[in-house]
Amino acid sequence: MALDGKVAIVTGGAQGIGKEIARVLARNGAYIVIPDISIVQAQQTAREIEELGRKSLAIQADLAQLSEAENVGKSVLDFFGQIDVLVNNAGITRDNLFLRMKEEEWDTVIGVNLKSVFNCTKAVIRHMSKRRSGRIINISSVVGQIGNAGQANYSASKAGIIGFTKSMAREFGARGITVNAVAPGFIDTEMTRSLPERAREEFLKNIPLGRVGTPEEVAEAVLFLASDASRYITGQVINVNGGIYM
């Protein structure tokens, strides 16, 4: 599953699952671009990528804005001359019970989690179409498949990503572009580690493998979909969830 010489954009790659995706792709030969709202964290991750012997570019961008996503695409082409892989990973949570959820909480999550996927895909799709080659991997979530109380905004955004993935796969398959999604379950990140112990125990009861997943396990699924090993796979959702949803 080598990616030697490939250029991969990993949105939200400055921390969490996105950072591990960037590291795994780099370890397998890819050059990495990290657009993130936090340039300081993006630059730190870029330095870590370069320590692995791979070129990396950090770009500050609010990917909920189409113009900024398009500027990222232009910057990558100016710097590397090509875009081979797009990983739409950027995401946030603004959890609240629906009756208490504010319009701003809904709009912010939909903007970052779902609209950014539209924006970034827009920014790369013409280039990939002209080259008749490309891999787009969208990071969804198990809650986009089963829902979750207190996360109507997050669940809706992640379910929307699945529908978008399937539509893009149908539109651009003839152009040699594959579009797939990865739907993580309960993954060991800063966000899940901050949950009360009781909540963690409830999650674990419903996971047949009996443990939380790791960011690396999500990243390895992304690596597979980014590589030529997955060349006949498109429009699919790969569940990395320990069996919590089948």
Beta bridge partners of 237: 181
Position 123, amino acid: A
Cα(first)–Cα(last) distance of the chain, in Å? 26
* DSSP code of residue 186: S
Closest to 6 (Cα-Cα) out of 226, 218, 178, 229: 226
Phi and psi, residue 181, nearest 5°: -125, 150
Q: Where are the alpha helices (DSSP H) in the chain?
A: 16-27, 39-51, 66-80, 103-110, 116-131, 143-146, 152-172, 190-193, 197-205, 215-226
Catalogue the long-range contacts made by 48-52 (C-beta closer than 8 Å, 24 or more residues apart): 48/23, 49/22, 49/23, 52/23, 52/26, 52/27
Q: Which two tokens stand for residue 190?
A: 């800063």
Return the active site residues: 154
Q: Which residues contact 208 (CB under 8 A, 6 or more apart)?
A: 242, 243, 244
Residue with the two structure tokens 């996927």? 117
Q: Are 221 and 182 in contact (CB under 8 A)?
A: yes
- What whole-number distance in Å separates Cα of residue 30 and Cα of residue 24? 9
